[in-house]
């Protein structure tokens, strides 16, 4: 005897509609329950470069600053400069960041980012470091310092654009002697990725359990609907 299979178990338009509603409900639940990881980045920088000028070449250059959020530094940018004798030279540029140890003191030379420029930089060229090792910072008044060093250049290896007037209240330009220049600041930006807010969230296992719960609810709803239709027929 041959068994004729029917297609009664195929999804009906009504079942598809139920699945669509459950999927939408699941997405809404995940959106509101999941942690808000996509926080807007904030940027530390001088408000304006008053009397913009070019800084003479030096062994390395730095700037002290305060953070705009509790989070991690992900990018540091400064503008190359210098006079015709002292443009930023070709070479390997390393970026160092640490809490400010005080004027006259150096910071550890543990590179958090590296750039290689095969040719001499032009005046005004952007030097942008994307940190391979994000540096944690706090928005509590702590002062930090970043330093950029050209490992392959001579004593005039670094030039940068700075302001002729100090207009950034959160820090100071730092020369290769680790002294502050109170008459100007670097043309720089420090990009900080804030930490996620400390709100109640579900763990990954919690989200998996939530998904299974919605799936079970969906299956039960379909079974109940099929049962009602059979009774009506």
**Would you state the pLDDT for residue 10?**
46
The string of pLDDT tens digits covering residues 3-50 is 544 444 545 555 555 656 666 666 665 555 444 445 678 888 865 554
What pLDDT is attached to residue 7?
A: 41
* pLDDT at position 232: 61
pLDDT confidence of residue 173: 86
The three state secondary structure string of 3-68 is: CCCCCCCCCCHHHHHHHHHHHHHHHHHHHHHCCCCCCCCEEECCCCCCCEEEEEEECEEEEEEECC
At residue 57, the pLDDT reads: 55
Q: For residue 117, what pLDDT is reported?
A: 86
DSSP 133-162: EEEEE-SSS-EEEEEEEETTS-TT-EEEEE
Angle between helix 13-33 and helix 204-232 axes, rounded to 10 deg: 160
For Cα atoms 211, 217, 220, give the angle at the middle one, nearest 5 degrees: 140
The pLDDT-based confidence of 185 (bands split at 50, 70, 90) is confident
Tens of pLDDT, residues 117-151: 888 877 778 889 999 889 999 999 999 999 988 88
20-34, 84-98, 138-152, 201-215 — which one is most confidently predicted on average? Answer: 138-152
């Amino acid at each position: 005897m041959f068994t004729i299979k029917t297609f009664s178990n195929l999804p009906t338009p009504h079942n598809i509609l139920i699945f669509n509603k459950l999927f939408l409900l699941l997405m809404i639940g995940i959106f509101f329950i999941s942690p808000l990881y996509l926080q807007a980045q904030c940027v530390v920088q001088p408000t304006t470069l008053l009397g913009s000028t070019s800084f003479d070449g030096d062994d390395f250059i730095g700037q002290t600053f305060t953070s705009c959020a509790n989070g991690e530094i992900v990018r540091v940018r400064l503008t190359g400069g210098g006079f015709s004798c002292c443009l930023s030279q070709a070479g390997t540029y390393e970026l160092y960041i640490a809490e400010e140890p005080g004027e006259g003191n150096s910071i550890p030379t543990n590179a958090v980012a590296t750039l290689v420029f095969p040719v001499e930089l032009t005046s005004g060229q952007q030097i942008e470091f994307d940190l391979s090792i994000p540096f944690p910072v706090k928005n509590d008044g702590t002062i930090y310092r970043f330093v950029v060093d050209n490992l392959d250049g001579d004593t005039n290896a670094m030039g940068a654009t700075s302001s002729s007037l100090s207009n950034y209240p959160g820090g100071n330009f730092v020369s290769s002697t680790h002294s502050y220049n109170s008459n100007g600041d670097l043309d720089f930006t420090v990009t900080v990725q804030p930490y996620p807010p400390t709100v109640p969230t579900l763990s990954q296992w919690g989200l998996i359990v939530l998904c299974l719960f919605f799936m079970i609810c969906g299956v039960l709803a379909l079974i109940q609907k099929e049962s009602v239709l059979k009774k009506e027929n």
